[in-house]
Amino acid sequence: MTPTYIVLAVVVVLVLWLIMMYNGLIRSRNQVDEATSDIDVQLKRRYDLIPNLVETVKGYMTHERETLVKLTEARTAAMATSNNPQASLADKERAENQLSGTLKTLFAVTENYPELKASQNFLQLQDEISDTENKIQAARRFYNGNVRDFNTKLQVFPTNMFAGMMHFTKYDFFQAAEAERANVKVQF
């Protein structure tokens, strides 16, 4: 009778251990999904601010229509990619990096328009977009931290033995665009 209790106790401990491991993986996966959602919230905010920025800039910029058209096209492409469930993380990164680059071009072009730079509405929108860009970067760092934790759980023993059987797969990290990795040239 005692060996039966010992075997039963071992089985119960094993089952409890598997449940705890499974719940830990689910918790980590949900944290990664939450981090993805945080990025989407900030991207949505940026998408909502861009039309206001374009409208503000339109009245001042008479020769820069091409920049505004490119910004609108980049926003549309980024939104379409973001809303496409079939789009890969790399596709989303590419579209968002294109939009960020176009925004940087717009802000660089505004240097030629002193009245625009002095416009309170433009300055406020520029600050909000800069703040949103910072929040997007923070959300991506938060996402990468959660991905690191989740992927580590999948790779360490003994979880790695069971994670594949439970259909858990690793997530990809957000990567910096190639243009952002280049050395910055500073000239005085």
Express each pLDDT in 47-80 by its tens digit.
998 888 888 787 776 667 778 888 888 999 999 9
CA 75, chain centre distance (Å): 15
What pLDDT, on a 0 to 100 scale, did the predictor assign at position 10? Answer: 93
Determine the Cα–Cα distance for residues 46 and 66; give it in Å rounded to an integer: 20
For residue 39, which of 148, 144, 124, 169 has the smallest C-alpha distance? 144
Our separate counts of H helices and E strands in the chain read 7, 0
* Residue 142 tokens, joined: 């938060």
Domain boundaries, the chain: 33-168
Determine the Cα–Cα distance for residues 89 and 82; give it in Å rounded to an integer: 9
pLDDT of 142 higher than 60: yes
Could you read off the pLDDT of 173-183 as tens digits, one per residue? 887 666 555 55
Phi and psi, residue 156, nearest 5°: -90, 150
Cα dihedral 167, 142, 44, 50 in deg (nearest 10): -140
pLDDT of 134 higher than 70: yes
What pLDDT, on a 0 to 100 scale, did the predictor assign at position 16? Answer: 94
Q: Thinking of the domain 33-168, which architecture would CATH place it in?
A: Up-down Bundle (1.20)
The whole-chain average pLDDT of the chain stands at 85
* Residue 6 tokens, joined: 């010992």
Q: Are 163 and 134 within 8 A, CB to CB?
A: no
pLDDT of 184 higher than 60: no
pLDDT of 117 higher than 90: no
Could you read off the pLDDT of 146-174 as tens digits, one per residue? 999 999 999 998 888 888 888 899 999 88
Q: Are 153 and 9 within 8 A, CB to CB?
A: no
Phi and psi, residue 65, nearest 5°: -60, -35
What pLDDT, on a 0 to 100 scale, did the predictor assign at position 26? Answer: 95
What pLDDT, on a 0 to 100 scale, did the predictor assign at position 9? Answer: 92
Q: Are 123 and 52 within 8 A, CB to CB?
A: no
Determine the Cα–Cα distance for residues 51 and 59; give it in Å rounded to an integer: 13
